[in-house]
């Protein structure tokens, strides 16, 4: 089997591993629904609490439970298993409805990675680079986190390991200038995908916004395209708190996808549905460990099935 094309089966087992903490949710739902054939309001209330506890978010959970209630009645559903299947169907449909652009079919040229410090930008960039390299694509990096000490070196090291080029401008220089240098370099050299690392400090929100806006503007101008990707890394272990921290990035730049990191940690998993409901953002990749291969393209069907059933 080639390493370059991941088989469905191995993806599934990865998802299973990543979401194993959520098996308890499946068990809890089954236990809750198990003894009933008539689903009254108290049960829906308890189901709502289970979803909120799993990090699905209050609003998204309420919306889904409301839909569930209506459909259980309309379709005369009585068996617990059928209720669970319906909940899965609702979760998948809601996600798909909100993502008109299929991010997995979208061919990207320039990706700017944004997100709070420590959320996993630099590590994810190296994993994503490897993912695309494995598909035979040429990847180039731009080290535009010129703020955090050591950030440029960290990315350079990954680039060396992967055998790819990394444009740097040194530390403490204008990150937009590095972006321009990088885009120019990659225009003149054969590269399919450029990935730019950025600084994630939140201490000065206005500066951060201005800086990100400027980087996007110069990248668009240099590459002569409006079709740029801005991906936001969210640390899954930070749950709803991570989401509110990420809001500043969603406000300041046109984020079009999320890279959900550290799914191997203590994440309760439901966060994907919360991100999607709140911000209409699809999840492009999930990462689940320190190894370079601990990354997978996100698949909503696998995810929801594992979240709710803990199995396939
Ligand atoms: N367990 C685990 N740790 C991760 C994952 N992704 C990143 N990390 C760790 O999180 C820390 C911060 O990552 P880094 O890429 O430097 O974050 P940045 O500040 O956003 O660039 C590092 O110690 C990484 O090894 C992941 O998927 N799982
Ligand atoms: Mg970094």
Which ligand has the nearest atom to the CA of 128?
A: 1
Please state which of the four CATH numbers 1.10.10.10, 3.40.50.300, 3.20.20.70, 3.40.630.30 is assigned to the domain occupying 103-255: 3.40.50.300
Structure tokens at 3: 């390493």
Which protein residues are within 6 Å of ligand 1, measured from CB? 115, 117-123, 200, 233, 261-262, 264-265, 287-290, 294
- Extended beta strands in 50-185, E state: 110-114, 139-144, 165-168
CB 114 within 8 A of CB 121: yes
Residue 208 alpha carbon to ligand 2 centre in Å: 15
Tell me the best of 117, 120, 148 to mutate to test the pocket of ligand 1, counting ligand atoms within 8 Å of each CB and taking the most: 120
The C-alpha atoms of residue 50 and residue 104 are separated, in whole angstroms, by 30
Q: What is the pTM of this model?
A: 0.88
The CB density around residue 181, as the number of other CB atoms within 10 Å, is: 17
Tens-binned pLDDT, residue by residue, of the chain (312 aa): 333 334 344 454 555 455 554 555 767 887 888 777 777 788 899 999 999 988 899 999 999 999 999 999 999 988 888 888 999 999 999 998 877 666 666 667 899 999 998 999 999 999 999 999 999 999 999 999 988 878 999 999 999 999 999 999 876 689 999 999 999 999 999 999 999 999 987 767 788 888 888 999 999 999 998 889 999 999 988 888 888 888 888 877 789 899 999 988 766 778 889 888 988 889 999 998 888 999 999 989 888 888 887 653
The residue whose CA is least distant from atom 25 of ligand 1 is 290
Tell me the per-residue pLDDT of 49-87, one tens digit each, with 9 for 90 and over.
999 988 899 999 999 999 999 999 999 988 888 888 999
For the chain, what are the domain ranges? 103-255
Distance CA 278, CA 282 (A): 11
- 182 CA to middle of ligand 1, Å? 24
Best CA proximity match to 215, nearest among 258, 165, 257, 249: 249
Q: Indicate which atom in ligand 1 lies nearest the CA of residue 295.
A: 27
pLDDT tens-place string over residues 221-246: 999 988 899 999 999 888 888 888 88
What's the rounded Cα separation, in Å, for the pair 261 and 239? Answer: 11
């Amino acid at each position: 089997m080639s390493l370059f094309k991941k088989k469905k089966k191995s993806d599934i087992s990865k998802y299973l591993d990543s979401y194993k903490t959520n098996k308890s949710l499946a068990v809890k739902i089954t236990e809750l629904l198990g003894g009933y054939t008539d689903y009254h309001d108290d049960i829906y209330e308890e189901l709502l609490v289970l979803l909120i506890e799993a990090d699905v978010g209050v609003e998204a959970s309420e919306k889904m439970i409301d839909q569930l209630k209506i459909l259980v009645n309309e379709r005369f559903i009585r068996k617990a298993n059928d209720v669970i299947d319906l909940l899965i169907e609702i979760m998948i449909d809601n996600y798909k409805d909100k993502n008109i652009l299929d991010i997995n079919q979208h061919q990207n040229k320039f990706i700017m990675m944004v997100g709070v410090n420590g959320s996993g930008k630099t590590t994810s960039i190296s994993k994503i680079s490897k993912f695309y390299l494995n598909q035979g694509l040429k990847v180039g990096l731009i080290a535009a986190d010129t703020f955090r000490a050591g950030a440029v070196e960290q990315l350079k090291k990954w680039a060396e390991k992967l055998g790819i080029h990394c444009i740097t401008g040194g530390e403490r220089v204008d990150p937009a200038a590095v972006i321009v240098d990088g885009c120019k370099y990659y225009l003149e050299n054969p590269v399919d995908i450029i990935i730019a690392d950025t600084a994630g400090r939140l201490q000065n929100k206005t500066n951060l916004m201005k800086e990100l806006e400027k980087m996007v503007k110069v990248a668009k101008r240099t590459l002569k395209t409006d079709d740029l990707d801005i991906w936001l890394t969210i640390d899954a272990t930070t749950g709803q708190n991570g989401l509110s921290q990420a809001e500043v990035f969603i406000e300041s730049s046109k984020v079009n996808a999320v890279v959900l990191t550290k799914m191997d940690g203590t994440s309760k998993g439901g966060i994907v549905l919360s991100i999607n409901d709140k911000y209409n953002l699809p999840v492009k990749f999930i990462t689940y460990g320190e190894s370079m291969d601990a990354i997978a393209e996100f698949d909503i069907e696998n995810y929801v099935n594992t979240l709710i059933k803990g199995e396939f």
